[in-house]
Amino acid sequence: MSAVIQIKDLSFSYGANGKPVIQIPHLTINKNETVFLFGPSGSGKTTLLEILAGVITGQGDVEMLGQKTQNMSLSQRDQFRSEHIGYIFQQFNLIPYLTLRENILLPFTFSGKKMDQALYDKVVTELGLSEHIEKLATQLSVGQQQRVAAARALVAKPEIILADEPTSALDYDHRENFLKILFSLVKAQGSTLIFVSHDRSIQNLFERHLNLADVNAVKV
């Protein structure tokens, strides 16, 4: 088993004098693991994913695929994310003035990766986005926007997928379709998955159940 994510003595606060939100002495996630990350609202799940994605940085060691993100500049972290990480943001982070197609293809704008047309077609179809593909992201319902965010995170075959409550706005059928394609891609590509959710009904799909409270010394 090889470590894909390795955290040592990580701490993070919002603002210079803020109280720490995250204090994690040690956490390792191995290649191919599927992790169901849970914990109460406000316990730092989104903050942790943003640190792993290099959107923000804390103090201490965060090693992603053998590279320490704290040693990278902001643009190096952006580059690293576009090449290696598929991130389904809790608030989606779609670009409002771009179409669905353009939003989904964004990872290819920032990385040298080549698009796999068959995979793109499959993801767009199975997530039920085909008929809306030329609409602007702002012309969609919340559930549709969440499916676009999911599609964008999957099309570039990332080694690491970080999904922040990615089914919160999906109805039953769309949730099932999303989970099916997510797990089939994770398996086919050998990706590592961290999936934040409050939905205990799906936790058995995941190999590892990680309660943030068990690794984070900051208690809420």
Query: Could you say whether residue 42 binds ligand ADP (CB under 6 A)?
Result: yes
DSSP 4: E
Under 8 Å between Cβ of 131 and 101: no
Query: Could you say whether residue 46 binds Mg ion (CB under 5 A)?
Result: yes
Q: Which is nearer to Mg ion, 180 or 198 (CB)?
A: 198
DSSP 127: T
Q: Which is nearer to Mg ion, 43 or 126 (CB)?
A: 43
Of 84, 68, 82, 71, nearest to 31 by C-alpha is: 84
Stretch that binds ligand ADP, among 42-50, 100-108, 146-154, 181-189 (CB under 6 A): 42-50
Q: Which residues contact 121 (CB under 8 A, 6 or more apart)?
A: none
For Mg ion, the nearest residue by Cβ is 46
Stretch that binds ligand ADP, among 38-46, 110-118, 138-146, 167-175 (CB under 6 A): 38-46
Main-chain phi, psi angles of 215, to 5 degrees: -115, -20
Q: How far is CA 39 from CA 1, 19, 128, in A?
A: 26, 19, 30
Indicate which of Mg ion, ligand ADP, none lies near residue 44 (CB less than 5 to 8 Å, by partner kind). ligand ADP
Query: Could you say whether residue 47 binds ligand ADP (CB under 6 A)?
Result: yes
Stretch that binds ligand ADP, among 35-43, 58-66, 103-111, 166-174 (CB under 6 A): 35-43
Which spans of this chain sit near Mg ion (rule: CB under 5 A)?
A: 45-46, 90
